[in-house]
Amino acid sequence: MKRYRDIAGDGGSDIAGQVEAQHVKLRQRLASVGSVVAVVSGKGGVGKSTLAANLACGLALDGWSVGVLDADLNGPTQAKVLGVRGRRLVVTDGGVEPPRGALGVKVMSMDLLLAEDATPLTWDAPRQDEAHTWRGTVEANAIREFLADTNWGALDALVLDLPPGTDRLLTIASLVPTLAGTVLVTIPSDVSHLVVRKSITVAAQTKSPVLGLVENMAGLFPGPDAARLAADGGIPYLGSVPFDPALAVSADQGEPLVVTAPERESARALQQIARAIRSALAPRAA
């Protein structure tokens, strides 16, 4: 039996042609999207997904048409947080129609393709030491298909919720024709700041703007100064979101806090940050 590496050329599969066709389709699909924004933490457990969903809804509250792509294939949460988990995907001639969550935010997530009791995705490779390479390739291909096959329609902003890891941003930057900017998320923790510093360096390598740093869970425990971290990294500081258990409760209920309880201090902070992001993106969306 021949393995792929034993086949001369592409074995007649025209893989290069297929990938190029998918890139063309992706560019056409995103042509009607004003700004693509990546939300990145590098470190897991900082509440990035809940924050991303609320920021998307914050943009929608100000009248923008918004979509969210959950780029975390093995730990997808956006369908749950935005209240569309369990919805059936509808495939039309125009592509896959993403369900709409709170405020009409369009959502695409691997969670919408899996059974509720599905086991985690696994990445097979001929040898275990090749698994990491295959995993990265398959992840990139899956995200490319999500971007290209989803009928996003005309959007002012498409928010990408990236999984933990500093390498994922480079993958996204290689797929998206023009990444309008990156939002970095941290918490008041030395460990989180250590990883975010690396994320700042990676973001600079993408040549796309860093829209700013957000501190989540502020006041939960004493920690380093996020504003100083932003200043040291030469990026804007967008503000802090105070620790609020209601944020976690609202995420579990699929009802973003900026929509259900806009009067809360954390919701007001999120809305203020969303407006700062909108102001930064407005020249690009015009």
51, 159 contact by CB (below 8 A): no
Decide: pTM greater than 0.75. Answer: yes
Instruction: Return the pLDDT at 35.
Output: 97
CA distance 141 to 20: 12
Report the DSSP beta bridge partners of residue 160.
38, 69
When the pLDDT of each residue in the chain is averaged and rounded to a whole number, the result is 87
CA distance 234 to 27: 31
39's enclosing H/E stretch is strand 33-40
Instruction: Return the pLDDT at 74.
Output: 84
Q: Is the pLDDT of residue 173 over 50?
A: yes
Residue numbers of the domain that contains 72: 32-285
Q: Work out the average pLDDT over 112-131.
A: 59
Residue 17 falls inside a structural domain: no
Give per-residue burial for 44-72: e unless 16+ CB within 10 Å, then b.
eebbbbbbbbbbbbbbbbeebbbbbbbbb
Residue 116 falls inside a structural domain: yes
CA distance 66 to 58: 10
Instruction: Return the pLDDT at 134.
Output: 46
Instruction: Return the pLDDT at 30.
Output: 93
The runs of H, that is alpha helices, within the chain are 15-30, 48-61, 78-81, 131-149, 168-175, 190-205, 226-233, 245-253, 257-260, 265-285
- What pLDDT band is residue 127 in, cutting at 50, 70 and 90? low
Instruction: Return the pLDDT at 125.
Output: 52
Residue 202 falls inside a structural domain: yes
Q: Which residue has the tokens 């609320």?
A: 54
Instruction: Return the pLDDT at 46.
Output: 94
Residue 18 falls inside a structural domain: no
CA distance 49 to 56: 11
Q: Is the pLDDT of residue 122 over 70?
A: no
Q: Could you read off the pLDDT of 237-264 as tens digits, one per residue?
A: 999 999 999 999 999 999 999 999 999 9
How many structural domains compose the chain? Answer: 1
Residue 110 Cα to chain centre, angstroms? 12
Instruction: Return the pLDDT at 267.
Output: 98
Q: Could you read off the pLDDT of 182-230 as tens digits, one per residue?
A: 999 999 999 999 999 999 999 988 989 999 999 999 999 899 999 999 9
Residue 247 falls inside a structural domain: yes
Instruction: Return the pLDDT at 113.
Output: 87
Residue 14 falls inside a structural domain: no
By percentage, how much of the chain surpasses pLDDT 70? 84
Q: Which residue has better confidence, 113 or 68?
A: 68
Q: Of 58, 61, 69, give the one whose Cα is nearest residue 152.
A: 69
Residue 112 falls inside a structural domain: yes
Domain with 61 in it: what CATH number?
Answer: 3.40.50.300
Residue 88 falls inside a structural domain: yes
Across 89-98, 123-132, 161-170, 219-228, least confident range: 123-132
Q: Which residue has better confidence, 65 or 18?
A: 65
- What pLDDT band is residue 133 in, cutting at 50, 70 and 90? very low
